[in-house]
Amino acid sequence: METIKAFFGYFLESTPGQDFKYYYILLALIVLLIVGSFLFKRIHKNKTNNKDFIFKTMFKKVPPRLIYFAIGLIFLAAVRYENIPYFAMRLWLYLVLLGLAVMLGFYAYKYFKKYPKELENFQNRPKNKPQENNYLPNKKRK
């Protein structure tokens, strides 16, 4: 029972203290997310210019979401540095990191599993409609 109480006490402590040893790692992750967002936006623009409509539609929300996670992590790092009660809880940091991992896993799944199938379907679709129905008479409009 004491281990469960200590476990929840660790995550739910309202003021965990200012001695957070992972500031540099967290700041490196924030910079990586921001740079990754700009690089992905450039890749997205290049693929869009090359007429890859499937990539454009499937991955257009990745750069803003990376920026949102970076802003959230900046907020949590600042709050932890200032040791503001209830906002500096370890639980929020772990939840944001879990959300980031889920988002990255979801987009990796989309890129490696769904994107090749959608691209193949897009390339195998009929390009032009048959020309045989162009000269048939149409019903008069009233």
Give the Å distances, CA to CA, from 62 to 47, 57, 88, 96, 111. 14, 11, 27, 16, 12
Strands (E), the chain: none
Residue 121 has what pLDDT? 86
Q: What percent of the chain has pLDDT over 70?
A: 93
Instruction: Compute the average pLDDT of residues 115-138.
Output: 75
Summarised one tens digit per residue, pLDDT across range 44-96 is: 888 888 888 888 888 999 999 999 999 999 999 898 888 888 888 888 989 99
Instruction: Label residue 16 by pLDDT band (50, 70, 90).
Output: confident
The yes-or-no verdict on residue 109 having pLDDT over 70 is yes
112 burial level (CB within 10 Å; 0-12, 13-18, 19+): exposed
Closest CA to 13 of 91, 79, 80, 82: 91
